Chain A
Amino acid sequence: MEQQTESAILGMWLFLAQEIMFFGGLFAAYLVYRFKYPEAWAAGSEELNITLGAFNTVVLLVSSLTMAMSVHAAQTGKQKRLISFLFLTLALGLTFLVVKYFEYKAKWEHHLVPGSNFVIHSKMFPDVDQAHSQLFFVLYFFMTGMHALHMVIGAGLLIWLIVLAYKNYFTPQRFMKVELVGFYWHFVDIVWVFLFPLLYLVHRHV
């Protein structure tokens, strides 16, 4: 039993190491182009909605806290608390996704989705290169999209935990699944903590 727990935890760490490399490739691409085309990057980030981004950052950080509380509740065998904190985490995760949806929708309406109709008008850089700004948005959509996909999977895992919790599956001796999902959830939050400044705040630093 102890061996199983340890194995599962090591397995999760290795899985997250794999995830770091997965996002790492994207961050590497981001950095290369950011240094190559600083103007396009600033102009692109000027278009992003900092208020919504900041709001979402707070939402995710709070959800990390509620996730940690769920793990604690599971460890101490507090069933009711466990279920409420899992629900809270799930609600925060879904809030994030809904806000993201409205952000994407706004980009769509402003012709900022890469493809044939892409146009960007920047106050800071009136004659910014369209192709390079489009590249910024390709990475914006891909990186946040990948992150959102991870959030969706995380939400699925939370629902699974909630079902198990209703069936009184968790005990102070048996809470590993909550812990592992917790690891995953924190990881997804951390990725966002990097994405937010890199994508939303760039133009404040030119």
Chain B
Amino acid sequence: MSTIAITPESALPARKHYLNIKTTLASWLLTTDHKRIAILYLISISVFFAAGGFFAGLIRLELLTPKGDLLDGDTYNKVFTLHGIIMIFFFLIPSIPAVLGNFLVPIMVGAKDLAFPKINLLSWYLYIIGGGLAVFALISGGVDTGWTFYTPYSSTYARSEVFLAVSAAFVAGFSSILTGLNFIVTIHKMRAPGLTWFRLPLFIWAHYATSLIQILGTPVVAITLLLVGLERLFHVGIFDPKLGGDPVLFQHLFWFYSHPAVYIMILPGMGVISEVITCFARKRVFGYEFIAFSSMAIAIIGFLVWGHHMFVSSQSTYAGIVFSLLTFLVAVPSAIKVFNWTATLYKGEISFEAPMMFAFGFIGLFTIGGLTGLFLGAMGTDVHFHDTYFVVSHFHYVMVGGMVMGFLCGMHFWWPKMTGRMYPQNIAIVAAVLVFIGFNFTFFPQFILGYLGMPRRYHEYAQEFQMLNVMSTAGASVLGFGYLLPVIYFTWSLFKGPAAGPNPWNAKGIEWQVQSPPPTFNFDEGRPIVVEEAYAYSTEG
């Protein structure tokens, strides 16, 4: 199975690298090394993922039976809200950019660090403060508005810690803005000699596009959440119709960010997949320019389609039609990417290592998620599916099936680079298969549930839906186990894994030319000079 060249541990001379150069706690908490900050993010993001996963488990257990026997209605609302807030703001949005992006963007462009290392550390602290506020909201009573904070419920009626929760999202938002700013400046100004725009890895293009969305979208939701907080604290009317405000305005402002934000949650994953597919197909990626430009197109058109979340919120039919058309338009660049990946695989020398298995999983799940998006983007069908489990399933397919799969894919691909150690391939492949199967068992039944009319966000349901819900809960336990496995073997590999060497996958790209783990300033032998494009594999694409 394995084609990896492994050097025995004893053959390695003790070497100073970013992990062992200093070992005090302070040297980690005050570090400005982008790689160490990436590790800080990895640890904190994993903790939040576990917390979000725990709440997901509670939701699925409650829905095992049609009666509300595990959680009462109030608690159920709080549980799914916290699940949503934690997963979206504290896992999905930062995951790939803050961990893999932080680690790899400077190395891939041949720089010693990001443009603003101190701001990078600041963003981690903002993330932690935001997370702390979210946890505080949780222990001081919870939040029951749903992650979308729809007004006037959130601003006037909810009897829960809305103010703390919106502050948490607000602070985390600035962490995301600063990361985006750092990436854009680094990519513009710090590329190594010879690294032209069209020699950049597609991972970098994806992060560039993501960062644009972060800078232009996040401030809008930040100000909106601030207004909700204000309305809630001082009872002044902005969104509450009783006080002269307009709740639909909140939805416009919220989705103006939150639709583009779904691309913050998927573009970086797409960047990972482009890297992995070419590497394990041993082929130059098919249609490099198309993939690069489709990232930018998604970032731009993504700002014009927010109204498809509001087909049933008093929007005029004409506005609905326009938003519906634009929504179809934004599906095109995503489809281009899937097409190009498939074309890259075609006649490639494919090897089925663990990262590649996760990449296949990504393509499969993302395709289903994207296609069902079209049902929702078409106004006529959305009126039927709106706020049913169909929507829940759709966005889990794209975001969990896409981003979490992409995150795992990237972690398996770059783990040897980050830690210098290999992990057991066979078990990792089992994990990939389990995640894929578990995922489909969890969420496919939910499409049918939604089609049959089961509404989202209720803790009880009609008897006839039970069968499918039981399937879904059973699938979720398989999925949970699939997510647990990597934690176990990654931890094992950290201490016992065989040494990986600089380039275990025989991949192209600057990051594979430096030592694993990389030295503190990435390039001991001076800056690299780039003479060819990122994917100079022998087979042409």
Q: Which residues of A contact B (CB under 8 A)?
A: 3, 6-7, 10-11, 14-15, 17-19, 21-26, 28-29, 32-33, 36-37, 40, 114-115, 129, 131-132, 134-135, 138-139, 142
Q: Which of A3, A15, A22, A135 contacts B190 (CB 8 A)?
A: A3
Given contacts A14-B185, A18-B215, A21-B220, contact A36 B253 (CB under 8 A): no
Chain B positions 243 through 275: 1 when the CB is less than 8 Å from some CB of chain A, otherwise 0: 111100100110000000000000000000000
Q: Is the CB of A135 within 8 A of B237?
A: yes
Complex-state Cα separation, A15 to B185, whole angstroms: 11
Complex-state Cα separation, A14 to B215, whole angstroms: 7
Q: Is the CB of A17 within 8 A of B185?
A: no
4 closest A-B pairs by beta carbon, nearest first, are: A131-B244, A22-B219, A25-B223, A21-B219
Complex-state Cα separation, A100 to B265, whole angstroms: 42
Q: Is the CB of A138 within 8 A of B236?
A: yes
B residues 209-236 near A (Cβ < 8 Å) are 215-220, 222-224, 227, 230, 234-236
Q: Which of A10, A40, A138 contacts B238 (CB 8 A)?
A: A138
Q: Which of A10, A28, A132 contacts B185 (CB 8 A)?
A: A10
Given contacts A7-B185, A21-B216, A142-B230, contact A33 B246 (CB under 8 A): yes
Complex-state Cα separation, A36 to B246, whole angstroms: 10
Given contacts A11-B181, A22-B222, contact A115 B237 (CB under 8 A): no
Q: Is the CB of A135 within 8 A of B185?
A: no
B residues 176-197 near A (Cβ < 8 Å) are 177, 181-182, 184-186, 188-190
Q: Which of B227, B230, B236, B246 contacts A134 (CB 8 A)?
A: B236
Chain B positions 156 through 187: 1 when the CB is less than 8 Å from some CB of chain A, otherwise 0: 00000000000000000000010001101110
> Most B CB atoms within 10 A — which of A22, A23, A25, A132?
A25
Tell me whether chain B's interface is mostly helix, strand or loop, or mixed.
Answer: helix
- Chain B interface residue bracket vs A: 35 or more
Q: Is the CB of B249 within 8 A of A32?
A: yes
Complex-state Cα separation, A179 to B182, whole angstroms: 20
**Residue B115 at the chain A interface, CB threshold 8 Å:** yes
Q: Is the CB of A134 within 8 A of B217?
A: no
Closest-by-CB residue of A relative to B245 is A135
**Residue B150 at the chain A interface, CB threshold 8 Å:** no
Closest-by-CB residue of A relative to B244 is A131
Closest-by-CB residue of B relative to A3 is B189
Q: Which of A21, A114, A131 contacts B217 (CB 8 A)?
A: A21
Nearest Cβ in chain B — how far from A85, in angstroms? 28
**Residue B116 at the chain A interface, CB threshold 8 Å:** yes
Q: Is the CB of A18 within 8 A of B245?
A: no
Collect the chain B residues with CB atoms within 8 Å of residue A29's CB: 227, 238, 249, 253
Complex-state Cα separation, A132 to B216, whole angstroms: 30
Contacts A6-B189, A21-B216, A138-B237 aside, 10 further interface pairs with beta carbons under 8 A come to A11-B182, A11-B185, A19-B219, A22-B223, A29-B249, A40-B244, A131-B242, A132-B244, A134-B237, A135-B245
Closest-by-CB residue of A relative to B234 is A115
